[in-house]
Amino acid sequence: MAFEIAMPQLGLTMEAGTVLHWLKRVGDTVRKEEPLLEIETDKTAVEVTSDTEGVLLAIVVPEGKAVPVGTVLGWIGQAGEAAPRVPAAAAGVATPRPSAPPPVSAAAEPAAPSGPTGPVRATPAARARARAAGVSLAAVRGTGPEGRVQARDVEGVRARPSPAGAYRDLPVAGARKVIAERLSQSFHGSVPVLLTAEAVVDRAHDLVGQMESDFRAKTGGKIGYLPLIVKAAALALRAHSRLNAHWMGHAIRLFEEIDIGIAVSLDGGLVVPVLRRADRLSLAEIATGVATLADKARTGTLTPAEMEGGTFTVSNLGGHHIGFFMPVINPPQVAILGVGRAAPRPMFRDGQVQALRALPLSLVFDHRAVDGEPAAAFLDAVKAALEAPYRLLL
């Protein structure tokens, strides 16, 4: 009896996924819970593990192909067993998911009918040239019929000049590919407008200093400006709900709950885990929540659920010597707050030039969804809360 490997649904909004890499080849032995393949959704790339043990009988959906949730990707069974044949029409609905929306036609191509697929489709001439040149065929994009790699494709790779002599190519795949696609979609598909403001944060600075030792004693962690900024933004979003929204194309969806995405930088790229109900959390809860999510991000243990559903994002570059900057909106959200480094600056207060601690705030909003005045009012509210931080404790 053969068991199907189906495209999993990793989140409520996931409609289709792309097979990135098969980690097993046809004929390989598979243990239960062993990684089988890597898939990519519009949010992330994850490994799919085996629900059963046996032998990988067939790969139905080859690498690089996007298919709807539930599509049979391959079969696991006993050695020597024949893989069931899946008719192309049935492949997309082999495992019905009643809650899943109908597949999006753009992302979803029908799965290949059946049968194992070889590793890379390439002509003998392309293989011989790749061997001679030490080029990996997997890294060559085939331009022949059915994506077959031909000699000219290998020549293309070899002919590319190497200006500085040695260089290395980082593959645009997995998380990097997701980031590239989503950010260019955001940047080219929205109307981003930047507003900046400086919050005077001497009092917030004092507050952080006062909380520091208590917080460390209680949690062992560190508290900085970020929990104050997240809380200030969350409270401001309550009053300015037009920014706590998703651009749906046909509608602007305003959310009751305030779920704030926190941009976390990793070696492999950027992830944005979501802190739920941030407006209702204490500063300490925000600090530990952000620390937990950041740890999970660094160890690669974030679940897709922890990365979806954000209604607004905070991007903090305050760890570097950065002032104002222009973050890119995380779609389908309509705004993002960029946080620079707080530093003492000469400012006027009571007719005197004083050294005051200024925190650069950069708000980028999508002018399709929000006009300049409400966006400015929101940024004002954030600034006001940070300058009177007792409000964050109420």
Partner 1 sequence: MRELTTSQAINEALAEELERDPRVFLIGEDIGLHGGAFAVTKGLFQRFGPKRIRNTPISEAVIVGAAVGAALVGTRPVAELMYLDFVTLAMDQIVNQGAKVKYMFGGKARVPAVVRMPFGAGRANAAQHSQSLEAWLCHVPGLKVVMPSTPADAKGLLKSAIRDDNLVLVLENKHLYFQKGPVPDGEHLVPLGAADVKRPGKDATVVATGRLLSAALSAAETLSKDGIDVEVLDPRTLYPLDAQAIIASVKKTGRLVTVHEAVKRFGFGAEVAAIVAESEAFDYLDAPIQRVAGAEVPVPFSKSLEDLFLPDEAKIVAACRRTLA
Which helix (H) or strand (E) element contains residue 63?
Answer: none
- Is 134 a binding residue for partner 1 by CB under 8 A? The answer is no
138 contact partners, CB below 8 Å, separation of at least 6: 119, 120
Smallest distance, partner 1 to C-beta of residue 106, A: 26
Least separation in angstroms between residue 151's CB and partner 1 is 5
């400006």: which residue's tokens? 225
**Considering CB under 8 A, how many residues would be counted as binding partner 1?**
11
In the three-class reduction of DSSP (H, G, I as helix; E, B as strand; rest coil), residue 171 is classed as coil
Q: Which of 28, 206, 295, 371 is catalytic?
A: 371
Cβ proximity to partner 1, 116 vs 147, nearer residue: 147
Nearer to partner 1, 127 or 176 (CB): 127
| By the rule CB under 8 A, 151 interacts with partner 1 | yes
Contact between 296 and 273 under an 8 Å Cβ cutoff? The reply is yes
The 99-128 site mask, x for binding partner 1 (CB under 8 A), equals ------------------------xxxxxx
Smallest separation (angstroms) from partner 1 to the CB of 144:
7
3-state helix, strand, coil in the chain (%, to 5): 30, 25, 45
Closer residue to partner 1 in complex, CB, 134/145: 145
Rounded to the nearest 5°, which phi and psi values hold at 353?
Answer: -80, 120
- Interaction with partner 1 in 153-192: which residues (CB under 8 A)? none
Whether 350 is catalytic is no
Q: Which is nearer to partner 1, 58 or 149 (CB)?
A: 149
Q: CA dist 34 to 19, 45, 77, 164, 249, Å? A: 17, 17, 15, 42, 40
| Minimum separation from the CB atom of position 5 to partner 1 (A) | 30
| Window contacting partner 1 (CB under 8 A); options: 85-93, 145-153, 322-330, 382-390 | 145-153
Q: Which of 84, 110, 144, 331 binds partner 1 (CB under 8 A)?
A: 144
By CB under 8 A, tell whether 45 contacts partner 1.
Answer: no
Q: What residues have CB less than 8 Å from 108, skipping those under 6 apart?
A: 15, 16, 66, 67, 68, 92
Site for partner 1 in 261-320 (CB under 8 A): none
Return d(Cα 166, Cα 285) in angstroms, integer: 48
* Bridge partner list, 18: 40, 66
SS3 assignment, position 361: strand
Burial group, residue 77, by CB count within 10 angstroms (0-12, 13-18, 19+)? buried
- Shortest CB 123 distance to partner 1, Å: 5
Is 28 among the catalytic positions? no
Nearest approach, Cβ of 27 to partner 1 (angstroms)? Answer: 25
Residues involved in catalysis: 367, 371
- Binding-site ranges for partner 1 (CB under 8 A): 123-128, 144-145, 150-152
